[in-house]
Structures are given as C-alpha cells and as structure tokens.
Structure 1
Amino acid sequence: MTSPADAPLKAVIVPVTAFQQNCTLLWSTRTMKGAFVDAGGDLDRLKAAAKQHGVTIEKLLVTHGHIDHCGGTGILAEQLGVPIEGPHPEDRFWIARLGDDGRSYGIEGRPFEPDRWLKDGDQVTVGELIFDVIHCPGHTPGHVVFHHPASKLALVGDVLFQGSIGRTDFPRGNHADLIASITKKLWPLGGDTAFVPGHGAMSTFAHERAGNPFVGDQVVSG
C-alpha cells in the first residue's frame, strides 16, 4: 500500500506462510517506531522488512489466534524482546493449540501468553499513533480489529475480505456474529475507510457495501 510522503502512518504488507497471510508492518513516520500485526511466520523476511524501512519494532499486535496469523508471534517477540498485545481473551484456546496446529499445517507454531489481552474499546499505541480496538467475533470468538481513524485505515484480519467474508466453520465460529460484527461495527467507521484483510488485496468499506455478495447493502437489507 502507498501513503503520502508526509503521512503520520506508513504500512507495508508482507505475505507470510503457505497461506499467504497478510502480515502488516506499521510505523510512525515521526518516531520510526513500529509494530507487526499478525506475525504468522517467515520471521527472517519480517525482520528484513523492518530493517529495510528503518523501523524499530516496539511490539507485536495480534488480530486472532489462528496459526497463520500468530504461529510465529511468540518466537518473534522473544527474538526482539518486545511485548505482544491482543487478541481478545476468548481466543485463548486457539493460542493454546498453536503447537499442534503448526504440526498439522507444516507451520512453526508456539503458544504464547500476550502481555496484554485486548477488549472492545481499548486502544493500542504504535509510536505516537493511537489505534482503536474493536472486538469483532464470528470468525473466531476473540477476533479484534485495529482502526486508525486519522488515516482511515483498518486492519481487519479474517473478518472481511475483498468480495468475501471470514469462514465461520471453525470451532466457536458464528456466522450471525460475523455478519453483525461487519455491519454494526465496521460499516459505521465510514465507507472511505481502507482495510487490510488477512489474505488478498486491500479494499474499502464502501466498495464492499456496494458489491460484497455476503454483506453488501442489497444483500443485508434484503
């Protein structure tokens, strides 16, 4: 993704693991302090990206507990000596099984205990940037979204995709909860909000409201 040269926030998407999960490197352009959101794996590639952009990683953020999103988070946190924030504690059971899931999917995974569990209405900082935390259950019960209002940017994990929505057939997934999370918590953030999904290309909430076959306005209102 691209940002104006004077933007307070910059972000680079680094796809990781065989699932091509979108790990996002976020940083404050004023302080050059940054964070990875969903450091699922390929840790050498992530560290190289931070070095390339001159970013000092100060924490790791997690949207939810699935292996492709956080299998490597505990390992990277230990390597860098930084804290982990997120997800919501309802995803504790997913994080507890990262070792087993990693063996099943051929991804290195290690359970971890976040330094800070997050809940709806919390805020997290990256440098001097402040992100709002929005609890969006459905794909997993403890899924959170990170929203930076000033940049009109949201990191939505596997809640919403360009033209699709997250799966709800995993343990404790809930389709009705997912639809409610999207329509009642994400749409009010504004149609001009761009979002980084957990996989695939970026989009905007307006674009998805106009044509997403699962949560578009015509589908939901009908």
Structure 2
Amino acid sequence: MINQLHARLHRPEQGWDPIADAYAHRYAQTEWHKLDLERVQRIEQWIGGFEGRRVLDLGSGPGQYAVAFAQRGAQVTCHDVSANYLAYLQRKAGELGVTDRLSCSLGYLDEAPRMLRTSFDLVFNRVCWYYGFGDRSFAKVVFSLISPGGYGYVDTPHMAFNRAQHGWSSRARMWLNHRLAIKIGHPFPPHGRLAKLFAGYPIDSMLVDYSTPDHDRIWLRKATNAP
C-alpha cells in the first residue's frame, strides 16, 4: 500500500525520475562494461534462439542486455521507471544499429501489464525485482507477461546481499517483508521466496540457481495451456 501511494504521487510521465542524469550515465557505463555475454548465450540456447522472439526487459535500466538480445534478432520492449536510463539505452541502440528492434515504455514495473497489454516469449528481469510493489503481487505481474509456453528469467539479490552494510532501517524493512509480507521501499526478498511463489503457477519447468550465495536466479517455462 505504501509503495502504491508513492507511485501515485511520483509519476515518471510527468517528469519525476528516481535516477539523476549524472548517476544514470556513470552507472550505465559501468553496467555496459560488465555485460555477461555468457549469460546471454545461455539464455539464447535455453529459449531456442532469439531470432524472431518477442522479449520484455522488465526493469531494463541502461539496456545492455536489451541491446544484446536485439543484436541476436529479438524484438525487445524495454520497460523502466527512469527516463534517464531509457534515454541512454536509446542512444546506445542508435550507435549499434538496433533501434528498429527496440521500443521503450516508461513506468513502474508493476504497471507493465496495463501499459503494454501484451505478452512475450521471454520476460527478463535482472537485479530490480525488489523495486516491485510487493513480492507476491510482482510474481503475478511477471507471470502474466509471459506468453503460454514462453520463458521467464529473474535474477535478484536476496537478504544476504551486502549484509554487513545493512543499517537498522534496511534490516527492519526486510524483516517486515520477510515475516509479514509488508513491503516499504525496496527491501531485498528472502532467500528462496521467488521459487516458492512461482511454483504456485502453472509451469512446465523451473530451474532454481543458487550458485551465487547472495542471489536467487529463477529460470521457468510457463505451461503451454496456461492463460
């Protein structure tokens, strides 16, 4: 409820941006240099190739993965709450010649189904899960955006991420989210929660990757007969 109220009062389409332009530029340069092409290749193999696929980069940030998908033949929609990130993404897409395979949508992550009104062969959500209004409701958002027989990929830090740097406020908000499912701001989810949430939906398969100690990675395929 608190996050939804914040969203009503701070509208990106009216000029509000949570990311300052200077910070967006610095962060974008760092993230583009850290692009994990091995991860891109693994996803490409998993879904049977990007050519002709409709992909949603949900929380695209500066767009390094979106552009990589487009370069491999996907038609990519980038949805993010920051106009500054999307502007950087569009500049890079122009430099790399893939603007015809990229479109941008500005809004909160949870608003994507209402704004986009379509589903995708792959929904890709990397390191921004915790910006959703609530873990349970955001799992529903992600699943609704995947076409029947399509794929979902989520990579998120969980509560152990940067544990030593958590102040009392951060710890309190993570405790509320963990114990009472009350989400204030952007606390990291508890380890293992995403797998439990998605297991409650009609899926053909799910791979849970806990190989990185402070991240949960979920690979899932939506059931072909799912609505």
Shared fold, TM over 0.5: no
| Higher relative strand content | 1
TM-score between both structures, scaled by the size of structure 2: 0.37
Structure 1 length normalisation: TM-score?
Answer: 0.37
Structure with the bigger percentage of helix: 2
